């Protein structure tokens, strides 16, 4: 059987595909697997109680459940949810938006597939443009969504060493150049995988650069502000008419509902809706049905601020303490955890690659993600890309502790074997 170029591009194994395969295998082997690799959020009891109450209300009030599962929403998504989001962001943060500035998608991954291919790739005049990631490493899920080859460009950061074992990536504005071949700039905030949070000033400077070049700045807020607010440092959300903010209900605790939120100019939001109509008719309805009242009441902001953020911040400190205990005597660095729910482990003297370490850990039922998948568009060779691991600390404390202990054992074994 022959497949098209699209098939050869999209239907082969990818980094994000391997990650999701690992997640599926871990779910099938829950008694043995220690899943420290995926982006699945934690099960936070206080948050899940809200979802359960929302579902009970949905079931008990008239025909709300039947309408949620038995009727198509419009291509831009559920009208009531969109109005609630627009009102919340306008009233709480002063964003100059209305419902026509918002389109929903089947999760953030679908949103980035649409947006990257809208603004980068081949154009009618024969030119090609790219998406620029000004700070790598960046999200593994970006790597394979481009329909055209060579769709991405990225820039190495400069590395600030904070203490013996902590470091931070900094955006290198002196080397940052937005050329005519760039069709959009994209950052995640907090950055997946490192947990880095761009400062307000850095984000504003990127916004100015994008506007000056006449391209959009895309901000991936899957873990960020204003919700779910998994941010451990001072930061403010940003939106303007040249910025596209992508949010999600996944890290709030609803990954199974696949609900992405795109906030953009009216023109761009309408384009996203039109692509929705072609690809899937309309976004799914269950996530919006469960979350509309949380948004309308503002409770979604309180949950982020008082429940979700402190929950993950505590787990980050605990996971960091486990690594400090078990990696005593090893040359290692960890990116300062400023948000999201991963630790980004850098092993500069590891005699094997992070991929080989991943394979050894997988054989012991510990699932992590090797670092080389997180550098889309980086043209120049950089040993650093093969020296890092992404480790999730969202699982139960006992799972995280056992997993980190085994990671440390394998690291020490590899180092001592040479």
**219, β-bridge pairs:** 187, 245
pLDDT value for 241: 95
State the alpha helices, DSSP H only, in 94-226. Answer: 107-119, 200-213
pLDDT value for 234: 94
DSSP of 364-404: TTEE-EEGGGG-TT--S--GGGGSEEEEE--S-HHHHHHHH
Query: Phi and psi at residue 129, in whole multiples of 5°?
Result: -130, 160
- Cα–Cα distance, 279 to 148 (Å, whole number): 18
- For 42, the 3-state DSSP assignment is coil
What's the Rg (C-alpha) of the chain? Answer: 21
CB of 332 within 8 A of CB of 323? yes
- The structure's pTM equals 0.93
CB of 344 within 8 A of CB of 194? yes
pLDDT value for 367: 96
Which of 174, 264, 277 shows the shortest CA–CA distance to 219? 264
Which of 390, 408, 404 shows the shortest CA–CA distance to 194? 390
CB of 267 within 8 A of CB of 345? no
- Cα–Cα distance, 134 to 115 (Å, whole number): 17
Query: Phi and psi at residue 366, in whole multiples of 5°?
Result: -105, 120
Q: CB 380: neighbour CB atoms within 10 A?
A: 7
Which of 117, 161, 111 shows the shortest CA–CA distance to 9? 117
pLDDT value for 2: 72
pLDDT value for 104: 98
pLDDT value for 316: 98
Site of tokens 């080389």: 372
- Cα–Cα distance, 387 to 370 (Å, whole number): 8
Residues in the chain with pLDDT < 70? 3, 9, 12-31, 418
What's the token pair of residue 198?
Answer: 């761009």
- Cα–Cα distance, 185 to 219 (Å, whole number): 9
For the chain, which domains are there?
5-43+303-417 (3.90.1150.10), 72-299 (3.40.640.10)
Strands 260-263 and 243-248, by their bridges, are antiparallel
pLDDT value for 28: 54
Query: Phi and psi at residue 26, in whole multiples of 5°?
Result: -65, -40
241 by Cβ neighbours in 10 Å (0-12 / 13-18 / 19+) ranks as middle
């Amino acid at each position: 059987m022959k497949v098209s170029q699209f098939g050869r591009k999209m239907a082969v194994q990818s980094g994000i595909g391997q990650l999701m395969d690992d997640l599926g295998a871990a779910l099938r082997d829950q008694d043995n697997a220690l899943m420290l690799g995926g982006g699945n959020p934690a099960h936070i009891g206080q948050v899940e109680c809200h979802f359960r109450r929302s579902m009970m209300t949905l079931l008990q009030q008239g025909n709300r459940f039947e309408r949620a599962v038995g009727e198509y929403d419009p291509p831009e998504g559920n009208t009531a949810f969109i109005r609630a989001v627009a009102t919340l962001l306008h009233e709480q943060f002063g964003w100059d938006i209305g419902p026509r500035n918002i389109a929903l998608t089947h999760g953030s991954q679908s949103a980035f597939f649409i947006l990257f291919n809208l603004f980068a790739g081949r154009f009618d005049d024969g030119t090609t443009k790219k998406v620029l990631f000004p700070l790598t490493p960046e999200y593994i899920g970006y790597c394979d969504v481009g329909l055209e080859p060579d769709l991405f460009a990225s820039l190495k950061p400069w590395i600030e060493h904070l203490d013996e074992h902590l470091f931070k990536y900094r955006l290198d504005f002196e080397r940052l150049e937005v050329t005519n071949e760039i069709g959009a700039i994209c950052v995640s905030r907090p950055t997946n995988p490192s947990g880095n949070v761009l400062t307000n000033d850095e984000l504003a400077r990127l916004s100015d650069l994008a506007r000056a070049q006449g391209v959009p700045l895309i901000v991936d807020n899957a873990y960020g502000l204003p919700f779910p607010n998994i941010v451990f440092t001072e930061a403010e959300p940003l939106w303007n008419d040249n910025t596209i903010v992508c949010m999600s209900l996944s890290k709030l605790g609803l990954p199974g509902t696949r609900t992405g939120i795109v906030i953009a100019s009216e023109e761009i939001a309408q384009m996203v809706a039109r692509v929705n109509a072609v690809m899937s008719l309309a976004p799914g309805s269950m996530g919006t049905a469960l979350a509309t009242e949380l948004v309308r009441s503002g409770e979604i902001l309180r949950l982020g601020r008082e429940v979700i953020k402190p929950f993950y911040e505590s787990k980050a400190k605990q996971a960091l303490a486990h690594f400090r205990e078990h990696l005593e005597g090893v040359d290692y660095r960890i990116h300062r955890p400023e948000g999201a729910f991963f630790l980004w482990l850098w092993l500069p003297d590891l005699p094997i690659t992070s991929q080989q370490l991943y394979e050894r850990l997988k054989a012991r039922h510990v699932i992590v993600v090797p670092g080389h998948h997180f550098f889309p568009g980086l043209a120049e060779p950089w040993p650093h890309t093969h020296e890092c691991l992404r480790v999730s600390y969202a699982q139960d404390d006992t799972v995280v502790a056992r997993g980190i202990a085994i990671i440390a054992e394998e690291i020490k074994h590899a180092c001592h074997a040479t």
